[in-house]
Amino acid sequence: MSETLLMGAVAYDPKVVTIWEGFKQYFAEQGLDFDYILYSNYERQVEQHFDGAYHVAWNSPLAWLQVERTAERLGRRASAIAMRDTDCDLRSVIVVRADSGIETLADLKGKRVGFGAHDSPQATLIPLLEIEKAGLERGKDFEVELFDVLVGKHGDHVGGERDAAKALVEGRVDAACMIDGNHLWFSKEGTLPSGATKVLCETEPYDHCNFTVLDDAPTDLVARFRELLLGMRYDDPRVRPLLDLEGLKVWKEGRTSGYGSLAESIDRFGTIDDFVDGLAARHRG
């Protein structure tokens, strides 16, 4: 295990195998022995990271906070070593029908709001925080309609957001929450008919996925992995297909400054407390 860098990732789509097989071949050509382990959900992936099953995790933002907070409880350190350019400064949007008469977040009082899966940062946790910070309380001032598609994958699957968008068009909800990129895509594919909806609100920018390591990761292997990632260039014909598959133009230095909104949300709603407390207790015992 010490000579092979092992990565954990969640299989949110069949293309994940194609993506990481491609990276595996590229890394081998650069002299890095690399392999990966796929998990069906982020909670199992996070547990296995602390069990030492692999060295580096490709984590959702919620999984990053699960790792960071578990590490803190154990007196350990977690680091974000790299992320995609497309993981930085994203926004979610709250969309309403153009003819709804809803003009502000306050107008959602008494309305039904559609969200993605309950563990989706971009389609549930961050926009839900935005609405509550405007003075509305879920269950009291507005009704939450969750579209729980593939729970455990932290919203990586677009299905919940698409279902919320469809419900909006069909009048089953009065507003729908989604990441801005999916809002554009749903408009392009016709899920949201042209002119039928409008953006009520944009959230503050936030960051998405990152490569996460714990403090016992093999330093030399991780350093080489990070060096190869940051050295990839989109104009390299060997690299471009891999970057296209993973949805980026360039890998960037990892940062953790963009998780503030999500951290505030999980503090407010207690989203990961039981999981983190349980995992930390198991490793302390």
How confident is the model over 70-110, as pLDDT tens digits?
Answer: 999 999 999 999 999 999 999 999 999 999 999 999 999 99
Question: Rounded distance, CA 182 to CA 51, Å?
Answer: 35
For residue 54, the model assigns a pLDDT of 98
Residue 36 has pLDDT above 70, yes or no: yes
Mean pLDDT, residues 50-60 taken together: 98
Mean pLDDT, residues 188-192 taken together: 95
Please report the domains of the chain, with CATH numbers, ordered by start residue. 5-87+207-284 (3.40.190.10), 92-202 (3.40.190.10)
Per the structure block, which two tokens stand in for 143? Answer: 């009704």
Confidence of residue 1 (pLDDT cuts 50, 70, 90): very low
Q: What percent of the chain has pLDDT over 70?
A: 99
Average predicted confidence (pLDDT) for the chain: 96
Mean pLDDT, residues 125-129 taken together: 98
For β-strands 112-115 and 197-202, DSSP reports them as unpaired
Confidence of residue 2 (pLDDT cuts 50, 70, 90): low
Write the single-letter amino acid at 124: T
For residue 149, the model assigns a pLDDT of 87
How confident is the model over 137-153, as pLDDT tens digits?
Answer: 999 999 999 999 888 89
Q: Where is average pLDDT lowest: 49-58, 155-164, 188-197, 244-253?
A: 155-164
- What is the separation of C-alpha 16 from the centre of its chain, rounded to a whole number of angstroms? 15
Q: What angle do CA 137, 163, 132 make, to 5 degrees?
A: 15
Residue 160 has pLDDT above 80, yes or no: yes
How confident is the model over 199-258, as pLDDT tens digits?
Answer: 999 999 999 999 999 999 999 999 999 999 999 999 999 999 999 999 999 999 999 999
Question: Rounded distance, CA 259 to CA 20, Å?
Answer: 26
Query: What is the end-to-end Cα distance of the chain in Å, rounded?
Result: 25
9: left (phi over 0), alpha (psi -120 to 50) or beta: beta
